[in-house]
Amino acid sequence: MATEAPQGPLRLQSERFLTHLRATRNYSPHTLRAYGKDLEAFVVKYPGLEPSGIERVHVRAFLADLQKEGGLARATILRRMAALRSFVKFLRSTGQLKGNPIFGVPLPKRGRPLPKFLTESEMAELMTMPASSNARHQLRDRAVIELIYSSGLRRAEVVSLNCGDIDYMTGTVRVFGKGSKERVVPVGDGALKCLRAYLEGRKKDDAEPVFVGPSGKRLSDAGLVFLLARWVKASALRKMFTPHVLRHSFAPHLMNHGCDIRMVQEMLGHVSLQTTQIYTHVSLDRMKEVYKDSHPRSSK
């Protein structure tokens, strides 16, 4: 039988920190769970440590533990340290910690791995086969996949969509991204057609969720991941991937066909253009093709 983790001073304050984030930052449940998980290792390492007693030696020892753990990616280490930095900032703002124990602690340099994405031919292949013998599931699953690829939506943005967020007249969808920031994104004709087919005969009050599970309630994050995995397994593709790969595919495919990077930034809901610029690397092959066909001296 599992025992509950001890409620030490750091754990109590970490729970208050998460409550603070929920109340002031509008973070999604998924983001809050990630923060909690990332802080857990520090809380467990120092169960009896008072917040006022956190010193640089504790942070250095924690970082050393993370770097010793086998299999931890550099991005994971940096994410956990970022969560700890935010926690320390909270403790200082509430007067529980005077110094800054993270200041001066050297962190590993952040890498910029290229995002995983599907080629245009792989995306076409993905949509050629029905993934379920259940016609209703097939319509829903196809609509989900078409919408993510058509508009570059995040998983949480898809499951939170309501019927009133879709505007068939203008061919757009209203989504609420990170921090509940609202944006309006174009939707392709193919995705709109799939949405109409799926929602035909359904109650379409504005507040009704677009995508629902077998119980008739809003589709969950886990449900979306499951339906995509089922669809991919039934297709001819021999690879598994997450819904975010469809979002990653949206960006370079637009750029390959001449879409301006700032427009892609707006559609993806990126605050910084630097975040979007990583997709320019995966469009390099297409750039070379355009150069070869367009530059007068490319073949000299």
In one-letter notation, the amino acid at residue 263 is M
Residue 145 tokens, joined = 């996949």
Q: How far apart are the two ends of the chain, measured CA to CA in Å? A: 74
Distance between alpha carbon 62 and the CA centroid of its chain, in Å?
A: 27
Torsion over CA of 3, 8, 10 and 13, rounded to 10 degrees?
A: 90
Residues annotated as catalytic are 154, 178, 244, 247, 270, 279
From 194, 183, 139, select the one nearest 157 (Cα to Cα).
183
Go through 202-211 and write b for each residue having 16 or more CB atoms within 10 A of its CB, e for each that does not.
Answer: eeeeeeebbb
Residue 245 CB contacts under 8 Å (≥ 6 apart), including other chains: 115, 116, 117, 118
The length of the chain in residues reads 300
